[in-house]
Amino acid sequence: MSARPRKAVVIGASAGGVEALSAVLPHLPPDHCPVLVVIHLPSNRQSVLADLFRDKCRMKVVEAEDKAPIDAGTIYFAPPDYHLMVETAFTVALSNEAPVWFSRPSIDVLFETAADAYGPGLTGVILTGANEDGAAGLRAVLAQGGRGLIQSPETAYARLMPETALSFCSGATVRPLEHLAAELLKGAA
Amino acid sequence: MASIKRRLFQARDHFGCRSISMLQDMVLHDETMLGALMSYLTVQVSELFRDPAYFRAIREKVVPHLKTYPSLKVWIAGCSTGEELYSFAILFREEGLEERTLFYATDINQESLRKAEAGVYDLDRMRLFTENHRLSGGKTSLSDYYTAAYGAATFDKSLRRHVVFSDHSLVTDAVFAETQFVSCRNVLIYFNRDLQNRAVALFADSLSRKGFLGLGAKETLRFTEHHDTFDEFAREERLYQKREAA
Ligand SMILES: C[S@@+](CC[C@H](N)C(=O)[O-])C[C@H]1O[C@@H](n2cnc3c(N)ncnc32)[C@H](O)[C@@H]1O
């Protein structure tokens, strides 16, 4: 059993997100703190993301299952059509409740619940997207003493999401896509 | 609990309360508030033949076992507004099991139970339901089971002939019958581990030897105390079978 880590990274992305994540996730070492990811995808219920990233990454990649413990060295993807949440017991929980910003999974829901659980140990990352989801979530992360990281809008496939996050979170760090992984590793243990 | 917290705050805002204790006050002083709050705190999303692969696996893998029983009891736990129940009733009719079956459809939300008993759904949902039914291996046409009028689809009351609807909480109530199949889908995700353990213990008690338990598409027994009580029967479709010795 690995000890329950008190550090974690949450990442939210929408339009262009698969490509942006491909520039970040493969750079994370196998013993990195847990990473939880929400990408908006059409909900045809096919869980392709975990399969897509498994071979590219050095961390273990799974689709989140309800009540699974959150372990270091693991990347958790939200299953399509479910909200992904973090419990204060450092387990994941799934939910079918209403979409937020027309999205389920929603980035705000993941970030807000993760901020409650991890507080200052959390880093929230907002990537490309044509949606306003994530901005309120990132603000919650910062409010609990966590760190905020935003992909610079100029390097984003769709700027709306990083721009909205920026306008909500003046305390967040902005980096071009190619520097995001390095920036993440700076704070990680 | 993360989910309950979110919904409590939503309810607070919806009912115009400044704080949770103000919301609590309202509920304590106004009886009608409890039902209204319940609708905020419990998630009622459902579909007919939701996750068609689940119903296809029941048809193809579980039904042959069920056919060996002279009589059957099936418990739909957390049936919400009834979509799951009607899916079972239709499937069992198609597979020739309906006449020997008694369904228990239970939930804690009274308002939802009333809707389940009425069996009336928006007509514009029938497209999805029809497609789900077809993908589940449906042998008949879904439209055989409802009448459409004024934008609503009303399911045939004959489907309820073998159904008992009842108010039952998986958190506080006890087992009420021996069953051969329990379907409890998208309810356990709203429970923490302790409550999940309690609910699954109820199912294990209720199920007869080698009885079946079906969960929602992203639910698993893996993180409960009872994973040893059951075998994985159809892994992907989240169907479990109670062990012989259990
Ligand atoms: C999302 S619905 C699931 C509907 C259906 N089973 C399906 O999968 O489509 C969840 C249901 O669980 C019910 N529920 C919540 N807590 C419960 C409890 N303690 N005992 C029984 N039902 C409960 C809710 O009222 C709600 O109707």
DSSP labels, A104-132: SS-HHHHHHHHHHHHGGGEEEEE---SS-
User: Does residue B6 sit in the same domain as residue B84?
Assistant: no
All domains of chain A, ordered by start, with CATH?
Answer: 8-187 (3.40.50.180)
Structural contact between residues A66 and B220, judged by C-beta atoms closer than 8 angstroms: yes
| Residues B115, B15 within the same domain | no
Facing residue for B223 by CB, picked from A67, A83, A95: A67
Angle subtended at Cα A118 by Cα A112 and Cα A123, rounded to the nearest 5 degrees: 75
Question: Of B1, B7, B188, which is closest to A88 when you measure between CB atoms?
Answer: B1
Contact criterion met (CB below 8 Å) for B159 and B83: no
Rounded Cα distance, B34 and A61, in Å: 42
Q: What confidence tens digit (pLDDT) does each residue in A7-36 have?
A: 999 999 999 999 999 999 999 999 999 999
Enclosing domain of residue B33: 2-41
Confidence of residue A181 (pLDDT cuts 50, 70, 90): very high
Please check whether residue B137 lies inside any domain of the structure.
yes
Could you tell me if A9 and A34 are in contact, meaning their C-beta atoms sit under 8 angstroms apart? yes
| Distances A87 to A172, B166, B197 between C-alpha atoms, Å | 24, 31, 17
Find residue A100's DSSP bridge partners: A103
Same domain (yes/no): B76, B195: yes
In this structure, the answer to whether residues B185 and B91 fall within a common structural domain is: yes
CA B162 to chain centre: 16
B190: CA distance to ligand 1 center in Å? 8
The pLDDT value recorded for residue B225 is 93
Provide the residue-wise pLDDT of chain B in tens; the chain has 246 residues.
Answer: 677 777 777 778 877 787 777 777 777 777 777 777 777 777 788 899 999 999 999 999 999 999 999 999 999 999 999 999 999 999 999 999 999 999 999 999 999 999 999 999 999 999 999 999 999 999 899 999 999 999 999 999 999 999 999 999 999 999 999 999 999 999 999 999 999 999 999 999 999 999 999 999 999 999 999 989 999 999 999 999 999 875
Same domain, B121 and B169: yes
Kindly provide the residue ranges of all beta strands, DSSP E only, lying in B158-222, ordered along the sequence. 163-167, 179-184, 207-215
Q: Per-residue DSSP letters for A157-178?
A: SS-HHHHHHHHH-TTSEEE-HH
Residue B232 domain-assigned (yes or no): yes
B 167-196: CB under 8 A from A: 186, 188-190, 192-193, 196
For residue B208, tell me if it sits in a domain. yes
| Residues of A carrying an active site annotation | 14, 40, 133
- The predicted pLDDT at position A105 comes to 94
DSSP assigned state of B102:
E
B84 and B111 co-located in one domain: yes
- B137 and B106 in one domain? yes
Instruction: Check: CB of residue A101 under 8 Å from CB of residue A80.
Output: no
Among A117, A114, A97, A106, smallest CA distance to A78 is for A106
ipTM: 0.79
Specify whether the CB–CB gap between B214 and B54 falls below 8 A.
yes
Report the 10 Å Cβ neighbour count for B26: 18
Task: Give the pLDDT score at A1.
Answer: 45
Given the DSSP bridges, would you call strands A147-151 and A173-175 parallel, antiparallel or unpaired?
parallel
Q: How far apart are CA B7 and CA A15, in angstroms?
A: 28
Domain assignment present for residue B46? The answer is no
- Tell me what the mean pLDDT of segment A170-185 comes to: 95
- If we measure between CA atoms, which residue out of B55, B51, B167, B14 comes closest to residue A47? B51
Q: Are A118 and A7 in contact (CB under 8 A)?
A: yes
Q: Tell if the CB–CB gap between B2 and A79 is shorter than 8 Å.
A: no
Q: Is B149:B72 a contact under the CB 8 Å cutoff?
A: no
Whether A188 shows a pLDDT value over 60: the answer reads no
User: What is the model's pLDDT at position A43?
Assistant: 64
pLDDT band at A189 (very low <50, low <70, confident <90, very high): very low
**Counting every residue, how long is chain B?**
246
Per residue in A77-133, pLDDT tens? 999 889 999 998 899 999 988 888 888 999 999 999 999 999 999 999 999 999 999
